[in-house]
Amino acid sequence: MDKNRRDELVRTREWSERVQDANAAGPASSNEDSSPEEQLVRRESAEFNARVHHALAEIPVPPNLREQILARSKIVPVRSWGQQKHLLAMAAALALVATLSFAWLRQQEDKSFAGFRSRMVNFAVRQYSMDLHTNQLAAVQSFLTQNGAPTADSWLPSGLQGGPVMGGANLSWQGKPVGMICFRHHTGKTLYMFIINSADVPGVTPRFNAASEKTLATATWQHGGKTFLLAGDVPLQELESLAKS
């Protein structure tokens, strides 16, 4: 059999009319202009390729992938610049006021560990915005590392190991990078774990500490030069046992 003819027959695809090779003549049952060898190669190739096609089509798609895509890809409508002139001027004025206010407020903010904890709890209570939605801890760790945020590396309290991961975010506090990893508690509530380099938080106590902050229970500890803050709307004792185990 001609080498080129064999190559064409090997590529026989019969699961869709759209992709049938135009050079492969007729279905396997046709006896016209096809030697017995060609018919055999076409028939076996068609069956083999169909099975591989169906096997790959069975690759399961993660059920939450669609939501992750939509959450991550926000559409911003683009208007012409002419229509936006007055809006731009207003936005510029507001941005200036916001910048000056932020700078003044930051001067007033508590820069101690208590201030860090309060700020992170506020974030968890009021904003709760993840940059990355995924159930893969490694993906969150990689995302945080790529963005210069501290991560848990390969260490987690045993109470959180294997727990359902929801995603993470790249935050900052007083200009210092903060990593956030979210876990789903068995009650359905979200547990927020904030990670900051211990050197970036003045006055952080090295020993384990559990306390309530506003409406959330919190637990803090240090490991590997990093300070961990776990916060969640769960009983304080339970959060403490998760973090301490």
Partner 1 sequence: MSQETDFEKLVDLYYPSLYRFAFSLTRQESEACDLTQETFLIWAKKGHTVRDETKVKSWLFTTLHREYLQKHRRRVRFPQVELEDAETELPEIAPVTMGNIDRYNVLNALSQLDENFQAAIALFYLEDHTYPEIAEILQIPLGTVKSRISRGIVQLQALLSDRVTASIEREVARG
Give the binding site for partner 1 (CB under 8 A): 3-4, 6-7, 10-11, 13, 16, 18-19, 21, 41, 44-45, 47-49, 51-53, 55-59, 61-62, 65-66, 68-70, 72-75, 77-78, 134, 136, 138-139
User: Least distance (Å) from partner 1 to the CB of residue 164?
Assistant: 14
User: Least distance (Å) from partner 1 to the CB of residue 73?
Assistant: 4
Chain center to CA of 145: 13
Per-residue burial over 11-39, b if 16 or more Cβ lie within 10 Å, else e, is ebbbeeeeebeeebeeebeeeeebeeebb
| Helix intervals (H) in the chain | 3-10, 36-57, 65-72, 85-108, 113-122, 137-146, 236-244
Residue among 147 and 198 whose Cβ is closer to partner 1: 147
User: Least distance (Å) from partner 1 to the CB of residue 42?
Assistant: 12
Please provide residue 4's backbone torsions phi and psi, each rounded to the nearest 5 degrees: -65, -40
Residue among 123 and 143 whose Cβ is closer to partner 1: 143
**What CA–CA distance (Å, rounded) separates 57 from 111?**
54
Calculate the dihedral angle through the C-alpha atoms of 90, 95, 98, 104, rounding to the nearest 10 degrees: -130
Residue among 4 and 108 whose Cβ is closer to partner 1: 4
Residue among 73 and 107 whose Cβ is closer to partner 1: 73
User: Least distance (Å) from partner 1 to the CB of residue 175?
Assistant: 27
Instruction: Centre a 10 Å sphere on the Cβ of residue 179 and count the other Cβ atoms it contains.
Output: 26
Contact 234, 189 (CB under 8 A): yes
Residue among 19 and 93 whose Cβ is closer to partner 1: 19
